[in-house]
C-alpha cells in the first residue's frame, strides 16, 4: 500500500491480492491434536512458518486479507519463545528465551497467538526502569502492541472466539502495572475489553503498528475537546502518534485546517496524510508563524514552544517532556472500543497505518529494533514480524 506517488521513499506493508505478480511464499508444517480434557476452552495454534521469500513492495490499497497464517486446531504448548529482561537497563539486558511458560488465561481474557508486535517509546522507558515503582515484577516480557489470532478464551469472554484475528494494546494502563508477559512472545494473555477484531484489509504487521499510537492520538484529541471546524498543529507529524493525529483530526474529527512539523525528507508524507501545511522544523520555527491554532498536539516534547502557537483559549496536549501551562499531559488508557470505532476508517482506507520502511524487523532482531526506536528517527511505527 503506497501512501502516494510522492512518497516513494516510504514503504507500507501491503496486503497482496491473489492476482499480484509478486508473492510471499511460506512453508508450513501443521500438526493436529485435539485436547479432550479441557471442555471449557478451545485452542488453536498457528504452525511455525519459514519464509522462503520476503518482499517490501508498493501497491495500491486492497481489501484482500493477508492473514491466512493461522487455521489449524491443535494443542497450545506449555512453553514459548519470548524476549525477556531480568534487570533494568539498556538494550543489552534483552535476552531471547525459548522456554518461557505460556501465560495462564483468566476468566475475562483470551490467549492470543502473536503474529506481529510493535515497539513504542514507553517500551524503552519501561526497560530503563523509569517507572519501576509502578511496574510489574521482573523478569519482564516487554511489548504493548499485538496482532494475532485467538487460540483460547476464558469462561467469561463473550465477544471473541477461537480463530478470531485481533489486535490491541495489551496493557490497560501504560505505566501502572503493565503485564509481566507482553507481546514480544509467541503468546500473550489479554483482557477481551482491550482488543478488537483486526481490520480486514490490514495484515498482521500493519495492524500491530496501530493500537497504542492510534488510541493515544484519539484520546488526546478528545481530551482537548477537538471538534469539526477547529484547527490543529501536530508536532512530529511523521512519528507513530503524530502521523495518526493528522489523519484522525482530518478524517474523524473534521478539522478545518491541519498543520504539522517534520524534517525535510518527510514533508511529502505529511501532505499525503492530509496536512494542509507541512512545516520543515529544520528551517522554520513553528511558534514564529503568524498563524495560530485551536490545538497543538505535541508528540515530541516542545510544550514550552507549543503554547506560543495556540489561539487564546486554545489547548496543548504534551505526550513527553516538561509541561508548560496551559499544556497538559495524559497517559493513554487501552480500550478495544476505540479500535472498534475506528475500524471503519481503517477498512475504508481513510486512515492508514504507517510502518517504518526499515522494518519489519524479524523476531531475532528485537535488540536492533529497540536501538532504532531509541534514536527517535523512526517514521511511523517499528514493527516486529514475523513472530517467532
Do 273 and 320 sit in the same domain of this protein? yes
* CA–CA distances in Å: residue 49 to residues 52, 111, 227: 9, 20, 46
Do 188 and 227 sit in the same domain of this protein? no
Domain containing 371 — which CATH number? 3.90.180.10
CA–CA separation, 216 and 212 (whole Å):
6
Diameter of the chain measured on Cα atoms? 70
Q: Cell triple for residue 261? A: 512539523
Q: Is 255 helix (H, G, I), strand (E, B) or coil?
A: coil
| 231 within a domain of the structure (yes/no) | yes
Do 122 and 229 sit in the same domain of this protein? no
CA–CA separation, 93 and 85 (whole Å):
6
* Structural domains counted in the chain: 2
Q: Over its length of 388 residues, how does the chain's per-residue pLDDT go in tens digits?
A: 433 333 334 444 444 443 333 333 333 333 333 343 333 333 333 333 333 233 232 333 333 344 455 544 358 999 999 999 999 999 999 999 999 999 999 999 999 999 999 999 999 999 999 999 999 999 999 999 999 999 999 999 999 999 999 999 999 999 999 999 999 999 999 999 999 999 999 999 999 999 999 999 999 999 999 999 999 999 999 999 999 999 999 999 999 999 999 999 999 999 999 999 999 999 999 999 999 999 999 999 999 999 999 999 999 999 999 999 999 999 999 999 999 999 999 999 999 999 999 999 999 999 999 999 999 999 999 999 999 9
Do 282 and 218 sit in the same domain of this protein? yes
CA–CA separation, 280 and 262 (whole Å):
5
| 371 within a domain of the structure (yes/no) | yes
Query: CA angle, 37 as apex, 34 and 74 as ends, to 5°?
Result: 20
| 323 within a domain of the structure (yes/no) | yes
| 45 within a domain of the structure (yes/no) | no
Domain of residue 122, residue span: 79-198+355-384
CA–CA separation, 209 and 28 (whole Å):
25
Do 314 and 367 sit in the same domain of this protein? no
| 48 within a domain of the structure (yes/no) | no
Do 371 and 271 sit in the same domain of this protein? no
Do 194 and 242 sit in the same domain of this protein? no
- Beta strand pairing status for 257-262 and 231-235? parallel
Do 321 and 218 sit in the same domain of this protein? yes
Reported pTM:
0.83
| 51 within a domain of the structure (yes/no) | no
Q: Are 195 and 144 in contact (CB under 8 A)?
A: no
Q: Nearest Cα to 120, choosing from 340, 343, 345, 356?
A: 356
DSSP 207-275: HHTSHHHHHHHHHHHHHTT--TT-EEEEETTTBTTHHHHHHHHHHTS--SEEEEEE-GGGHHHHHHHT-
| 171 within a domain of the structure (yes/no) | yes
Do 102 and 186 sit in the same domain of this protein? yes
Q: How many CA atoms lie within 13 A of 221 on its CB side?
A: 30
Do 324 and 245 sit in the same domain of this protein? yes
CA–CA separation, 232 and 297 (whole Å):
7
Do 176 and 226 sit in the same domain of this protein? no
Domain containing 232 — which CATH number? 3.40.50.720
| 203 within a domain of the structure (yes/no) | no
Amino acid at each position: 500500500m503506497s501512501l502516494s506517488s510522492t512518497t516513494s521513499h516510504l514503504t507500507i506493508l501491503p496486503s497482496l491480492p491473489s492476482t499480484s505478480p509478486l508473492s510471499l511464499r511460506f512453508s508450513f508444517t501443521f500438526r493436529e491434536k485435539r485436547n479432550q480434557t479441557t471442555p471449557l476452552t478451545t485452542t488453536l495454534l498457528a504452525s511455525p512458518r519459514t519464509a522462503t521469500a520476503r518482499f517490501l513492495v508498493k501497491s495500491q490499497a486492497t481489501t484482500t486479507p493477508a492473514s491466512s497464517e493461522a487455521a489449524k486446531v491443535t494443542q497450545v504448548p506449555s512453553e514459548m519463545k519470548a524476549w525477556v529482561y531480568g534487570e533494568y537497563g539498556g538494550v543489552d539486558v534483552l535476552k531471547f528465551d525459548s522456554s518461557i511458560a505460556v501465560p495462564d488465561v483468566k476468566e475475562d481474557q483470551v490467549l492470543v497467538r502473536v503474529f506481529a508486535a510493535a515497539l513504542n517509546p514507553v517500551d524503552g522507558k519501561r526497560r530503563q526502569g523509569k517507572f519501576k515503582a509502578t511496574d510489574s515484577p521482573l523478569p519482564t516480557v516487554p511489548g504493548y502492541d499485538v496482532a494475532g489470532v485467538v487460540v483460547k478464551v476464558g469462561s467469561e469472554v463473550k465477544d471473541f472466539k477461537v480463530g478470531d484475528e485481533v489486535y490491541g494494546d495489551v496493557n490497560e494502563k501504560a505505566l501502572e502495572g503493565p503485564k509481566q508477559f507482553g507481546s514480544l512472545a509467541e503468546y500473550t494473555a489479554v483482557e477481551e475489553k482491550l482488543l478488537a477484531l483486526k481490520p480486514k484489509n490490514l495484515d498482521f504487521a500493519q495492524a500491530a503498528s496501530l493500537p497504542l499510537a492510534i488510541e493515544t492520538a484519539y484520546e488526546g484529541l478528545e481530551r482537548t475537546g477537538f471538534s469539526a471546524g477547529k484547527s490543529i498543529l501536530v508536532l512530529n507529524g511523521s512519528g507513530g502518534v503524530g502521523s495518526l493525529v493528522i489523519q484522525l483530526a482530518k478524517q474523524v474529527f473534521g478539522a478545518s485546517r491541519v498543520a504539522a512539523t517534520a524534517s525535510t525528507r518527510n514533508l511529502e508524507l505529511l501532505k499525503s496524510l492530509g496536512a494542509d501545511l507541512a512545516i520543515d522544523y529544520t528551517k522554520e520555527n513553528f511558534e514564529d508563524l503568524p498563524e495560530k491554532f485551536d490545538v497543538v498536539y505535541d508528540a515530541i516534547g516542545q510544550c514550552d514552544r507549543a503554547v506560543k502557537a495556540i489561539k487564546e483559549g486554545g489547548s496543548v496536549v504534551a505526550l513527553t517532556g516538561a509541561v508548560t501551562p496551559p499544556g497538559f499531559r495524559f497517559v493513554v488508557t487501552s480500550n478495544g472500543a476505540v479500535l472498534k470505532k475506528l475500524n471503519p476508517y481503517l477498512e475504508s482506507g481513510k486512515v492508514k497505518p504507517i510502518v517504518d520502511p526499515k522494518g519489519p524487523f524479524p523476531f531475532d532482531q528485537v535488540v536492533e529494533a529497540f536501538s532504532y526506536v531509541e534514536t527517535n528517527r523512526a517514521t511511523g511505527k517499528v514493527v516486529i514480524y514475523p513472530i517467532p
